[in-house]
A and B are shown apart, each in its own frame.
Chain A
Amino acid sequence: MENDFKKEARKQYLHYFRVWFIILAVLLVVLIGVKIADSIKRTAASRNEKQPAERVYDYADVLTDQEEDRLRQYIAEKEQEYKIDIVLVTINEEIESHGDWELVMMNKADDFYDHNNYGYDKVHGDGVLLLDNWYEDENGSQKGSWLSTCGRVYEYFAMSEINEVLDEVYYLVDNDPYGAYKAYVDTVCRLVGDGESHSVFFWACLPGILLITIVVAAVYAAINLHQSKAKDTTTASTYVSGGKPVMKVQRDDFIRKSVTKRTIQSSSSGGGHSSSGGHGGSHRSSSGVSHGGGGRRR
């Protein structure tokens, strides 16, 4: 008999959770499908043919010819691996006479990317451009970098990622420009890799998922552990003949009254706040392409 009860228990358990198990199986199939589709899409991604082969424009002449060649070769390897265009432009230009430093740098970076048709997969597609200005005169420094992102890089990079790239560059650039630009390539590739691993989103969601599911499981357990106890269903008149007492005397005689008064104090208060968020430095360039980006003086 014990075996019959165990068999019945298993049957009830499977019956009870059947919908959950079906949903799980469906989601697993969907996930496998999505992973396969993503892998096919990446393998089949076509190369943009309308862009120039050049990636390193050292107008400020801060790199040696050998360093430029090494950087070009390094970028080519990384581009192949991460399927994004990585462009470096150094300039030595006085720009503040043309407007706000950040605005001019942003427009220059975006326009350089757009006019040269950069983008790994298509014109104005996936890629990143670092514009590094070395201008300095007796009136002050206009040194600083602007990172322009586009396509997938724009999707993955919030301001925190942009600042991380700029921090890596600034750490080295004054003493070792080649090291700084190599760090630019490395950091961009690492962050793009993180974004594409899909696990970043998953790990960001995990604490919330655990919190929700623990609360739901606790509520489920509490609901099922609760049993309504039998209540006393008799009333005071259950056993009274005729259902009510015979009231022989029922008097409420007014005796006296007293009135007191009090002055009411008044008070008031108020307040509020607002917040905002989005992709890192999201904007449109003069060509109408969506770019992200950010930069600062050093």
Chain B
Amino acid sequence: MIFKCKNCGGNVVYSPEKHKMFCPYCDSEDSEERSDAVSSGIQICPNCGGEVPVGEHTSATQCPYCDNYLIFNERVEGEYAPAHIIPFQIGKESCKSMIREKFKKCRFAPIDFLSEVRLNSMEGDYVPFWFYDFDTNCDFQAEGTKVRCWTSGNTEYTETSYYHVVRNMDVAFKKIPVDASVKMPDDIMDLMEPYEYQGLVEFKPEYMSGFYGEKYNMPATLVMDRAKMKMMEDTKEMLKASYSGYSRLKVERQQINVNNVSENYGLLPVWKYIYHYKDKEYPFYVNGQTGKIVGTAPLSKAKVWAYTGTLWGCLTLILALVCEIAGYL
């Protein structure tokens, strides 16, 4: 599908700044009209007939010939219909400013790293996620000790008290996210969290116009273990917080039972900037809702030597000149 402007026929996209559909050709707002023109194949642009490179899991992309954003119906409907989506809240220009702000102090980054021409290559992706709900019960028993020391005269006393520690708690986890994309690195996607779920809305394909996207390419059963692991870690941490204050704890019983599990599918927004330097890729990911940035700036060895060397040379010369002048005074 393509969203066309009723007024000018241009491609209407979703604007994160305006929070509505916007035609960049005639500046009309909410003027979109869905066009489901059928093409002879998924790789043929229904607008211009150009051949579009479409990945195995791509659900939205841009035609390289007419620049129209295409959304593939069969990958956002039926079994691949997302239940909800967080639409992009940060536009491309804001995202570029955030990256510039974060890395402006990286003195040794290559000169074109933050240049307009490189940052323009950034693209907005809707990443498929599975969201898991877990109803759990945690049963815990242990022997805890508390130690108290005091001194009287030249004698030091140590008092050790023993306690029977019992905890039983219910924890209801809602929407633990796990990415369902093979190409997105799991550790990076974990660092993108947390998303603010109050921004979660019912899925509409309009939100994808202007961006790239994927359908889920890892089934819910495959990635559930990652969600379970997160759930277990969080439960243990909360449990630990409930019995703080003991010097030592001997665990007698710790059981975490999952009473109920459910999952649903959604899309979360991520800006992606891939910088190429000396035959190596430096990927940067920005949470399209909160602006959290994950990535490490590349280093230009030439700049490291030039800047450090100049600083050293200037400082040495300045101190030497001061000493030389002081010798005359």
* B44 contacts partner chain A, Cβ-Cβ < 8 Å: no
* B151 contacts partner chain A, Cβ-Cβ < 8 Å: yes
Closest to A195 in B: B327
Q: How far is the CA of A257 from the CA of B147 in the complex (A)?
A: 10
Q: With contacts A240-B238, A248-B170 known, is A20 near B311, CB below 8 A? A: yes
- CB of B158 within 8 A of CB of A237, answer no
CB distance from A136 to the nearest CB of B (A): 44
* B223 contacts partner chain A, Cβ-Cβ < 8 Å: no
Q: Which chain B residues border A256 with CB–CB below 8 Å?
A: 161-162
* A23 contacts partner chain B, Cβ-Cβ < 8 Å: yes
B285-319 interface code vs A (CB 8 A; 1 in, 0 out): 00000001111110100011011111110111111
- CB of B155 within 8 A of CB of A263, answer yes
Q: With contacts A5-B111, A24-B314, A198-B328 known, is A230 near B166, CB below 8 A? A: no
- CB of A259 within 8 A of CB of B311, answer no
Q: Which of A30, A214, A225, A261 contacts B158 (CB 8 A)?
A: A261
- CB of B154 within 8 A of CB of A217, answer no
Q: Which of A221, A236, A252 contacts B237 (CB 8 A)?
A: A236
Number of interface residues of B (CB under 8 A): 80
- CB of A1 within 8 A of CB of B297, answer no
* A216 contacts partner chain B, Cβ-Cβ < 8 Å: yes
* A238 contacts partner chain B, Cβ-Cβ < 8 Å: yes
Closest to B308 in A: A221
Q: Which of B138, B154, B233, B324 contacts A263 (CB 8 A)?
A: B154
Query: Which residues of A, 235-280, contact B by the 8 Å Cβ criterion?
Result: 236-242, 244-264, 266
* B190 contacts partner chain A, Cβ-Cβ < 8 Å: yes
- CB of B157 within 8 A of CB of A261, answer yes
* B234 contacts partner chain A, Cβ-Cβ < 8 Å: yes
Closest to B233 in A: A236
Q: Which of A35, A225, A247, A253 contacts B163 (CB 8 A)?
A: A253
Q: Which chain A residues border B163 with CB–CB below 8 Å?
A: 252-255
- CB of B171 within 8 A of CB of A13, answer no
Interface segment out of the listed B31-39, B46-54, B76-84, B172-180: B172-180
Q: How far is the CA of A232 from the CA of B162 in the complex (A)?
A: 36
Q: With contacts A12-B111, A232-B190 known, is A217 near B311, CB below 8 A? A: yes
* B326 contacts partner chain A, Cβ-Cβ < 8 Å: yes
Q: Which chain B residues border A229 with CB–CB below 8 Å?
A: 296
- CB of A28 within 8 A of CB of B111, answer no
* B115 contacts partner chain A, Cβ-Cβ < 8 Å: yes
Q: How far is the CA of A5 from the CA of B292 in the complex (A)?
A: 28
Q: Which of B164, B176, B191 contacts A255 (CB 8 A)?
A: B164
CB distance from A267 to the nearest CB of B (A): 13
* B112 contacts partner chain A, Cβ-Cβ < 8 Å: yes
Q: Which chain A residues border B303 with CB–CB below 8 Å?
A: 9
- CB of A257 within 8 A of CB of B322, answer no
Q: How far is the CA of A250 from the CA of B140 in the complex (A)?
A: 10
- CB of A221 within 8 A of CB of B304, answer yes
Q: How far is the CA of A182 from the CA of B163 in the complex (A)?
A: 95
* B262 contacts partner chain A, Cβ-Cβ < 8 Å: no
Q: Which of A201, A245, A249 contacts B238 (CB 8 A)?
A: A245
Interface size class of A (residues with CB under 8 A): 35 or more
* A234 contacts partner chain B, Cβ-Cβ < 8 Å: yes
Q: How far is the CA of A234 from the CA of B155 in the complex (A)?
A: 47
- CB of A206 within 8 A of CB of B314, answer no
Q: Which of B174, B193, B296, B327 contacts A233 (CB 8 A)?
A: B193
* A31 contacts partner chain B, Cβ-Cβ < 8 Å: yes
Q: Which chain A residues border B144 with CB–CB below 8 Å?
A: 252
Q: Which of B296, B311, B317 contacts A227 (CB 8 A)?
A: B296
Q: Which chain A residues border B151 with CB–CB below 8 Å?
A: 264
Q: Which chain B residues border A255 with CB–CB below 8 Å?
A: 143, 162-164
Q: Which chain A residues border B190 with CB–CB below 8 Å?
A: 232
- CB of A202 within 8 A of CB of B318, answer no
Q: How far is the CA of A256 from the CA of B167 in the complex (A)?
A: 20
Q: With contacts A27-B325, A34-B328, A201-B327 known, is A261 near B155, CB below 8 A? A: yes
- CB of B238 within 8 A of CB of A261, answer no
- CB of B310 within 8 A of CB of A17, answer yes
Q: How far is the CA of A214 from the CA of B237 in the complex (A)?
A: 46
A interface residues with partner B (beta carbon < 8 Å) = 1, 5-6, 8-9, 12-13, 16-17, 20-21, 23-24, 27-28, 30-31, 34-35, 38, 198-202, 205-206, 209-210, 212-214, 216-217, 220-221, 224-225, 227, 229-234, 236-242, 244-264, 266
Q: Give 12 pairs: A residue, B residue, CB < 8 Å, sorted on A.
A: A13-B310, A20-B318, A27-B317, A27-B322, A31-B325, A205-B319, A217-B309, A225-B108, A237-B234, A246-B170, A250-B242, A263-B156
B interface residues with partner A (beta carbon < 8 Å) = 105-108, 111-112, 115, 117, 138, 143-144, 151, 154-176, 190-191, 193-194, 230, 233-235, 237-238, 241-243, 292-297, 299, 303-304, 306-312, 314-329
- A-B contacts besides A230-B295, A257-B162, 9 pairs, CB < 8 Å: A5-B115, A9-B111, A198-B324, A206-B323, A221-B304, A225-B304, A251-B165, A251-B166, A252-B243
| List of 3 A-B pairs having minimum Cβ-Cβ separation, nearest first | A198-B327, A236-B237, A217-B312
